[in-house]
């Protein structure tokens, strides 16, 4: 895995300990948002919800990451919890761990430039797409399916070859 891991202080909508590494084998759609960001509420989060209902859970994992970089007092975990309830967001959402300045740790590690950001990871755990702002659903659907197809092809290939020796606990290398 050539990219950072999630650094989360608290999870909602899950009792599991979630990591990108632990989801290897699935395509991951990571929606990075702030609850008071209008573009996140209008576009980013509804799109993440559609991904969750369109693709089977065992193939595509949808995660939210609440990366607050402004108005920190206004977007506390208490407010976030009510927000998730009211907007009926039921996929796992992590609170990005506070950093030294305004930018939380995961956001800084991935060098994200704002919210909403949508990150796509392939079944081998590699970061494959990074979108900021509003997206074409048609193009996004195609991107996710392409990553799924690659994963299926890899599995078939691996089965044929007997082993995927290039994959280790950190993920899979090219």
Which residues of this protein are in contact with its own copies, per CB under 8 A? 36-38, 41, 47, 50-51, 54-55, 70-71, 73-76, 78-79, 81-83, 85-87, 136-146, 148-150, 153
Nearer to its own copies, 78 or 163 (CB): 78
Task: Give whichever of 87 and 173 is closer to its own copies, judged by the CB atom.
Answer: 87
Shortest distance, position 34 Cβ to its own copies, whole Å: 8
Nearer to its own copies, 19 or 154 (CB): 154
CB of 131 to its own copies, least distance (A): 14
| Cβ burial, residue 65 (10 Å; 0-12/13-18/19+) | buried
Cβ 56 to its own copies, closest distance in Å? 11
Dihedral over Cα of 112, 113, 116, 122: its sign? negative
Choice between 6 and 55, CB closer to its own copies: 55
Please name the residues in contact with 78: beta carbons below 8 A apart, sequence gap of 6 or more.
Answer: none
DSSP class per residue in 104-142: -HHHHHTT--SSSEEEEE-TTS-EEEEEES---HHHHHH
Place of tokens 């290939």: 157
| Nearest-approach distance from CB 21 to its own copies, in angstroms | 25
Question: Rounded distance, CA 47 to CA 31, Å?
Answer: 9
């Amino acid at each position: 895995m050539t990219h950072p891991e999630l650094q989360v202080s608290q999870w909602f909508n899950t009792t599991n300990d979630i990591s990108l590494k632990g989801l290897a084998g699935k395509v991951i759609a990571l929606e990075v948002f702030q609850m008071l960001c209008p573009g996140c509420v209008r576009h980013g989060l509804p799109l993440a919800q559609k991904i969750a209902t369109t693709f089977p859970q065992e193939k595509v994992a949808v995660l939210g990451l609440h990366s607050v970089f402004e108005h920190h007092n206004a977007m506390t975990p208490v407010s976030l919890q009510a927000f998730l309830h009211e907007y009926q967001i039921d996929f796992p959402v992590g609170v990005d761990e506070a950093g030294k300045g305004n930018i939380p740790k995961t956001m800084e590690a991935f060098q994200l430039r704002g919210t909403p950001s949508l990150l796509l990871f392939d079944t081998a755990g590699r970061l494959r797409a990074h979108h900021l702002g509003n997206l074409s659903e048609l193009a996004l659907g195609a991107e996710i399916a392409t990553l799924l197809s690659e994963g299926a092809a890899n599995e078939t290939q691996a089965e044929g070859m007997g082993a995927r020796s290039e994959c280790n606990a950190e993920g899979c290398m090219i």
